[in-house]
Amino acid sequence: MSPVNQALREPTRLDVGLMIITSLMLASGFIAIRIAVPETGPIWLAAIRVGIGFSVLLPYAIWRGMTWPANPVEWALVIGMALLNVVVPFILVAWAGKTVEGSVLALLMGTGPFLALIGSHLMTDDDRMTPRKLLSVILGFSGIVVLLGPSIFSGLAGGPLLGKLAALGASLCYVCAGLLIRRISMPPVRLATLALAIGSAVLFPLALLTDGLPTQGYSASAIGSLVFLGLFPTGIAYILRFSLIRAIGYTRFSLSINLVPVFGVALGVAILGEPLSVNLVAALGLVLAGLYVSSRGRKPQPDPV
């Protein structure tokens, strides 16, 4: 049975542990972005992050024997997945990181399950919106409104609001990319390597074209953050993400995103000394309540992909 058609299985304790580790690494990435992006800029940060992740995975892929898409359709799926999973969201998240606190970034990126619920209702016939799903969406996006504050009603002018919208756009990209991964019949590590290779091929020329070569060296904290971003939230987390989606399905894997805002808020407060505002606590409570409602009473089933 090819990977694209492999049957999904129930999550094991190991799967759950790996989902928690993946969520922690993804959340920690927002903290590293906040540290590095003031020096690198968003596009160079995305390019360097992807380049480091690619260099980490490439030796293993070569050792195991690199595999390639089987036909033009699969090439198109891989390229589309790479753009939606690497290029576009990395630029959006890095740009958002210039004005949005790391804990807020993690909270906004944790809205992926809500976006997936809406997309399923609009794009499928067998996964329509139920009262439970509708309640979870209302709770989740109420949290976003609370987080954005009155500025959401005063138009799109203003950096902070645009940064938060960019983070939401990145979350939507990840949802769309997740629905493509199980359609691609490549081993997870080789697929992650190819996605990062495509991302590097796009991002480095784009960074040179838009920003030119960096004119000064980066600080030790920025360099450390870049290495961390490439190694953990990009390289290792992508292997785990692709492997888990193949094994237990995107619907079940997406529930681990519940933990991203929790870890993100905790790390932002503990490491960066970011304020734990009333709005942030209220928004976090609403988002987690929505995620809890969406996961209650749902029977595990294969994803309709």
Tell me if 64 is assigned to some domain. yes
Tell me if 20 is assigned to some domain. yes
Helices 102-109 and 159-181 sit at what angle, rounded to 10 degrees?
40
Residue 251 has a pLDDT of 64
Overall number of domains in the chain = 1
Tell me if 282 is assigned to some domain. no
CA 281 to chain centre: 22
227 burial type by CB count under 10 A (0-12 exposed, 13-18 middle, 19+ buried): middle
Tell me if 178 is assigned to some domain. yes
Domain ranges, residue 14 = 3-110+159-274
Which structure tokens are listed for 118?
A: 């809406």
Residue 6 has a pLDDT of 55
Residue 203 has a pLDDT of 92
Q: Can you give the pLDDT of all 305 residues of the chain as single tens digits?
A: 444 555 667 777 888 888 889 888 988 887 888 888 888 888 898 899 899 999 988 988 888 788 888 889 989 999 999 999 888 988 888 788 777 776 677 677 777 777 777 776 676 565 567 787 778 778 877 877 777 666 554 544 445 678 888 888 888 898 888 778 767 888 878 888 999 999 999 999 999 998 888 878 889 999 999 999 999 988 888 888 878 877 777 666 766 776 777 787 778 788 878 777 787 788 878 878 877 776 665 444 444 33
Tell me if 153 is assigned to some domain. no
Tell me if 297 is assigned to some domain. no
Rounded CA separation 195/57 (Å)? 11
Q: Are 178 and 253 in contact (CB under 8 A)?
A: yes
Phi and psi, residue 196, nearest 5°: -70, -30
Residue 14 has a pLDDT of 86
Task: Find all residues with CB under 8 Å of 201, minimum gap 6, and list them.
Answer: none
- Helix and strand tally (H, E) in the chain? 14, 0
Other Cβ atoms less than 10 A from the Cβ of 129: the count is 14
Residue 52 has a pLDDT of 93
**Largest interatomic CA distance in the chain:** 55
Residue 159 has a pLDDT of 52
Phi and psi, residue 2, nearest 5°: -70, 155
Distances in Å between the Cα of 158 and the Cα atoms of 93, 100, 101, 109, 151 are 17, 12, 15, 20, 8
Rounded CA separation 96/5 (Å)? 37
Residue 148 has a pLDDT of 64
**Amino acid identity of 305?**
V
Q: Are 66 and 57 in contact (CB under 8 A)?
A: no
pLDDT tens digit string along 249-283?
Answer: 766 676 677 677 778 777 878 887 877 778 778 88
Rounded CA separation 163/249 (Å)? 30
Query: What's the chain's Rg over C-alpha atoms?
Result: 19
Tell me if 147 is assigned to some domain. no
Tell me if 303 is assigned to some domain. no
